[in-house]
Protein backbone atom coordinates (compact mmCIF):
# COMPACT_ATOMS: atom_id res chain seq x y z
CA UNK A 1 0.00 0.00 0.00
CA UNK A 2 1.47 3.38 -1.03
CA UNK A 3 1.01 5.79 1.88
CA UNK A 4 1.31 8.69 -0.51
CA UNK A 5 -1.87 7.65 -2.30
CA UNK A 6 -4.23 7.05 0.63
CA UNK A 7 -6.16 10.21 -0.20
CA UNK A 8 -7.13 8.67 -3.56
CA UNK A 9 -8.59 5.53 -1.95
CA UNK A 10 -12.32 4.82 -1.65
CA UNK A 11 -12.52 2.64 1.47
CA UNK A 12 -15.40 0.19 1.83
CA UNK A 13 -16.54 -2.47 4.26
CA UNK A 14 -19.47 -4.44 5.66
CA UNK A 15 -20.33 -4.73 9.33
CA UNK A 16 -22.97 -6.62 11.30
CA UNK A 17 -25.30 -4.78 13.69
CA UNK A 18 -27.59 -6.55 16.15
CA UNK A 19 -30.67 -5.66 18.16
CA UNK A 20 -29.59 -5.99 21.80
CA UNK A 21 -31.83 -7.00 24.67
CA UNK A 22 -31.42 -6.58 28.39
CA UNK A 23 -29.23 -4.20 30.33
CA UNK A 24 -25.92 -4.23 28.57
CA UNK A 25 -22.94 -4.08 30.87
CA UNK A 26 -25.00 -4.08 34.07
CA UNK A 27 -25.19 -6.86 36.65
CA UNK A 28 -27.83 -7.20 39.35
CA UNK A 29 -27.57 -9.33 42.49
CA UNK A 30 -30.91 -10.73 43.69
CA UNK A 31 -31.91 -12.46 46.88
CA UNK A 32 -32.78 -16.13 46.83
CA UNK A 33 -36.46 -15.28 47.41
CA UNK A 34 -36.56 -13.07 44.29
CA UNK A 35 -35.09 -15.58 41.84
CA UNK A 36 -38.53 -16.66 40.54
CA UNK A 37 -40.19 -13.24 40.72
CA UNK A 38 -41.48 -12.35 37.20
CA UNK A 39 -40.30 -8.76 37.63
CA UNK A 40 -36.75 -10.06 38.03
CA UNK A 41 -36.75 -12.10 34.84
CA UNK A 42 -35.10 -10.87 31.68
CA UNK A 43 -35.71 -12.32 28.26
CA UNK A 44 -32.78 -13.51 26.24
CA UNK A 45 -32.46 -14.22 22.53
CA UNK A 46 -30.37 -17.03 21.10
CA UNK A 47 -30.04 -15.36 17.70
CA UNK A 48 -30.81 -11.63 17.93
CA UNK A 49 -32.17 -9.86 14.89
CA UNK A 50 -29.39 -8.31 12.88
CA UNK A 51 -28.54 -6.29 9.79
CA UNK A 52 -25.49 -6.38 7.56
CA UNK A 53 -24.45 -2.88 6.51
CA UNK A 54 -22.19 -1.80 3.64
CA UNK A 55 -20.66 1.66 3.44
CA UNK A 56 -17.84 3.54 1.76
CA UNK A 57 -15.80 6.61 2.65
CA UNK A 58 -12.86 8.69 1.50
CA UNK A 59 -10.99 11.75 2.68
CA UNK A 60 -13.74 13.75 0.93
CA UNK A 61 -16.57 12.24 2.97
CA UNK A 62 -18.91 9.26 2.97
CA UNK A 63 -21.09 7.52 0.45
CA UNK A 64 -24.54 6.10 1.10
CA UNK A 65 -25.23 2.99 3.14
CA UNK A 66 -26.69 -0.23 1.84
CA UNK A 67 -28.43 -2.47 4.36
CA UNK A 68 -28.92 -6.15 3.64
CA UNK A 69 -31.85 -8.05 5.06
CA UNK A 70 -30.78 -11.30 3.44
CA UNK A 71 -27.59 -13.17 2.70
CA UNK A 72 -24.65 -11.61 0.90
CA UNK A 73 -23.31 -13.29 -2.21
CA UNK A 74 -21.35 -12.13 -5.21
CA UNK A 75 -24.46 -11.19 -7.21
CA UNK A 76 -25.92 -9.03 -4.45
CA UNK A 77 -22.52 -7.48 -3.80
CA UNK A 78 -22.15 -6.46 -7.44
CA UNK A 79 -25.58 -4.80 -7.24
CA UNK A 80 -24.35 -2.75 -4.28
CA UNK A 81 -21.27 -1.70 -6.21
CA UNK A 82 -23.41 -0.64 -9.16
CA UNK A 83 -26.03 1.20 -7.11
CA UNK A 84 -23.82 2.77 -4.43
CA UNK A 85 -20.10 2.53 -5.07
CA UNK A 86 -20.04 3.78 -8.67
CA UNK A 87 -22.22 6.89 -8.11
CA UNK A 88 -20.34 7.93 -4.97
CA UNK A 89 -17.00 7.22 -6.57
CA UNK A 90 -17.91 9.79 -9.24
CA UNK A 91 -19.37 12.20 -6.68
CA UNK A 92 -16.53 12.06 -4.16
CA UNK A 93 -13.60 12.13 -6.61
CA UNK A 94 -15.08 14.23 -9.43
CA UNK A 95 -13.20 12.37 -12.13
CA UNK A 96 -9.88 12.26 -10.27
CA UNK A 97 -7.97 8.95 -10.19
CA UNK A 98 -9.36 6.62 -7.56
CA UNK A 99 -8.45 3.26 -6.08
CA UNK A 100 -11.19 1.07 -4.64
CA UNK A 101 -10.53 -0.85 -1.42
CA UNK A 102 -12.39 -3.84 -0.08
CA UNK A 103 -11.20 -6.84 1.92
CA UNK A 104 -10.90 -10.46 0.88
CA UNK A 105 -14.40 -11.65 1.76
CA UNK A 106 -15.68 -14.32 -0.62
CA UNK A 107 -18.22 -12.10 -2.43
CA UNK A 108 -15.40 -9.62 -3.07
CA UNK A 109 -12.96 -12.13 -4.53
CA UNK A 110 -15.48 -14.22 -6.49
CA UNK A 111 -14.63 -14.57 -10.16
CA UNK A 112 -17.78 -12.73 -11.30
CA UNK A 113 -16.97 -9.83 -8.99
CA UNK A 114 -13.40 -9.64 -10.24
CA UNK A 115 -14.64 -9.75 -13.83
CA UNK A 116 -17.13 -6.96 -13.15
CA UNK A 117 -14.43 -4.77 -11.62
CA UNK A 118 -12.13 -5.47 -14.58
CA UNK A 119 -14.84 -4.58 -17.12
CA UNK A 120 -15.50 -1.34 -15.28
CA UNK A 121 -11.76 -0.60 -15.23
CA UNK A 122 -11.82 -0.09 -11.48
CA UNK A 123 -8.41 -0.19 -9.84
CA UNK A 124 -8.54 -2.31 -6.69
CA UNK A 125 -6.15 -1.92 -3.78
CA UNK A 126 -4.37 -5.16 -2.94
CA UNK A 127 -5.43 -6.09 0.57
CA UNK A 128 -3.70 -8.47 3.03
CA UNK A 129 -5.75 -11.05 4.90
CA UNK A 130 -6.95 -10.44 8.48
CA UNK A 131 -6.06 -6.75 8.50
CA UNK A 132 -8.87 -4.72 10.11
CA UNK A 133 -6.18 -2.57 11.78
CA UNK A 134 -5.39 -0.99 8.42
CA UNK A 135 -8.88 0.07 7.33
CA UNK A 136 -10.06 3.48 8.61
CA UNK A 137 -13.71 2.62 7.99
CA UNK A 138 -13.50 0.05 10.81
CA UNK A 139 -13.29 2.98 13.20
CA UNK A 140 -16.50 4.42 11.76
CA UNK A 141 -18.32 1.17 12.49
CA UNK A 142 -17.06 1.24 16.09
CA UNK A 143 -18.25 4.80 16.60
CA UNK A 144 -21.71 3.94 15.23
CA UNK A 145 -21.94 0.77 17.34
CA UNK A 146 -21.11 2.72 20.47
CA UNK A 147 -23.90 5.20 19.66
CA UNK A 148 -26.27 2.33 18.84
CA UNK A 149 -25.62 0.67 22.21
CA UNK A 150 -26.38 3.96 23.92
CA UNK A 151 -29.67 4.39 22.03
CA UNK A 152 -30.60 0.67 22.33
CA UNK A 153 -33.05 0.22 19.42
CA UNK A 154 -35.55 -2.55 20.15
CA UNK A 155 -36.58 -3.52 16.60
CA UNK A 156 -34.83 -4.04 13.28
CA UNK A 157 -36.60 -0.94 11.95
CA UNK A 158 -35.32 1.17 14.84
CA UNK A 159 -31.86 -0.32 14.38
CA UNK A 160 -31.76 0.63 10.71
CA UNK A 161 -32.94 4.16 11.44
CA UNK A 162 -30.33 4.50 14.18
CA UNK A 163 -27.48 3.33 11.91
CA UNK A 164 -28.45 5.72 9.12
CA UNK A 165 -28.84 8.68 11.49
CA UNK A 166 -25.50 8.10 13.19
CA UNK A 167 -23.74 7.59 9.85
CA UNK A 168 -25.07 10.94 8.61
CA UNK A 169 -23.95 12.70 11.81
CA UNK A 170 -20.26 11.91 11.38
CA UNK A 171 -18.47 15.15 10.42
CA UNK A 172 -16.15 15.25 7.44
CA UNK A 173 -13.13 16.07 9.60
CA UNK A 174 -13.44 12.57 11.12
CA UNK A 175 -12.93 11.04 7.68
CA UNK A 176 -9.95 13.31 7.06
CA UNK A 177 -8.39 12.31 10.40
CA UNK A 178 -8.94 8.61 9.79
CA UNK A 179 -7.48 8.62 6.29
CA UNK A 180 -4.48 10.62 7.48
CA UNK A 181 -3.92 7.93 10.15
CA UNK A 182 -3.25 5.17 7.61
CA UNK A 183 0.50 5.82 7.51
CA UNK A 184 0.66 5.47 11.31
CA UNK A 185 -1.43 2.30 11.10
CA UNK A 186 1.07 0.78 8.68
CA UNK A 187 3.97 1.73 10.90
CA UNK A 188 2.22 0.22 13.92
CA UNK A 189 1.58 -3.07 12.10
CA UNK A 190 5.21 -3.26 10.98
CA UNK A 191 6.43 -2.48 14.50
CA UNK A 192 4.13 -5.16 15.94
CA UNK A 193 5.18 -7.63 13.23
CA UNK A 194 1.59 -8.17 12.14
CA UNK A 195 0.12 -8.50 15.63
CA UNK A 196 -2.94 -6.50 16.77
CA UNK A 197 -2.42 -2.75 17.17
CA UNK A 198 -4.17 0.00 19.10
CA UNK A 199 -6.31 0.65 16.02
CA UNK A 200 -7.94 -2.74 16.50
CA UNK A 201 -7.70 -3.22 20.27
CA UNK A 202 -10.18 -0.73 21.65
CA UNK A 203 -11.24 1.22 23.62
CA UNK A 204 -7.90 2.92 24.04
CA UNK A 205 -7.22 6.27 25.76
CA UNK A 206 -9.00 9.09 23.91
CA UNK A 207 -10.00 6.61 21.18
CA UNK A 208 -13.11 8.43 19.99
CA UNK A 209 -11.50 11.85 20.26
CA UNK A 210 -8.56 10.53 18.25
CA UNK A 211 -10.82 9.06 15.59
**Top-ranked range on mean pLDDT: pick from 22-31, 114-123, 187-196, 201-210:** 114-123
Query: Does the residue 57 lie in any domain?
Result: yes
- pLDDT score, position 180: 86
Domain housing 65: 3-28+47-210
Query: Does the residue 90 lie in any domain?
Result: yes
> In the 8-state DSSP scheme, what is residue 62?
E
Query: pLDDT band at 135, cuts 50/70/90?
Result: confident
pLDDT of residue 132 exceeding 50: yes
Query: Does the residue 58 lie in any domain?
Result: yes
User: For the ranges 6-15, 99-108, 139-148, 177-186, which has the lowest average pLDDT?
Assistant: 177-186
Q: What are phi and psi of 120, to 5 degrees?
A: -80, -5
pLDDT of residue 140 exceeding 60: yes
Query: Does the residue 34 lie in any domain?
Result: no
Mean pLDDT value across residues 40-58: 75
Q: How many domains does the chain have?
A: 1
Enumerate long-range contacts of 194-202, CB under 8 Å, 24 or more apart: 196/133, 197/133, 199/133, 199/134, 199/138, 199/139, 200/132, 200/133, 200/138, 202/142
- Quick: pLDDT tens for 66-93: 998 777 899 999 999 999 999 999 998 9
Query: Does the residue 33 lie in any domain?
Result: no
131: domain CATH number is 3.30.420.10
For the chain, the C-alpha Rg in angstroms (whole number) is: 20
149 contacts 20 by C-beta, under 8 angstroms: yes
Query: Does the residue 41 lie in any domain?
Result: no
- Quick: pLDDT tens for 146-186: 999 999 999 999 999 999 999 999 998 998 889 888 877 77
Q: What is the pTM of this model?
A: 0.76
Query: Does the residue 39 lie in any domain?
Result: no
Query: pLDDT band at 207, cuts 50/70/90?
Result: very low
Query: Does the residue 36 lie in any domain?
Result: no
Helix spans in the chain (H)? 74-80, 86-93, 106-109, 111-119, 137-151, 156-169, 172-180, 182-191, 207-210
Query: pLDDT band at 129, cuts 50/70/90?
Result: confident
Query: pLDDT band at 108, cuts 50/70/90?
Result: very high
Helix (H, G, I), strand (E, B) or coil at 109: helix
* CA dist., res. 35 & res. 10, Å (int): 53
- pLDDT score, position 7: 85
Amino acid sequence: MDCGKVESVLWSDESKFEVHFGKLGRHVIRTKEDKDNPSCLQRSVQKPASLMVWGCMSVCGMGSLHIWKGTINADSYIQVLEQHMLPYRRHLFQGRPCIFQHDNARPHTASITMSWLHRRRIRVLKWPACSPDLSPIENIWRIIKRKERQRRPKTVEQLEACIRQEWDKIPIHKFEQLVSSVARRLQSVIKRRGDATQWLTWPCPNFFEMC
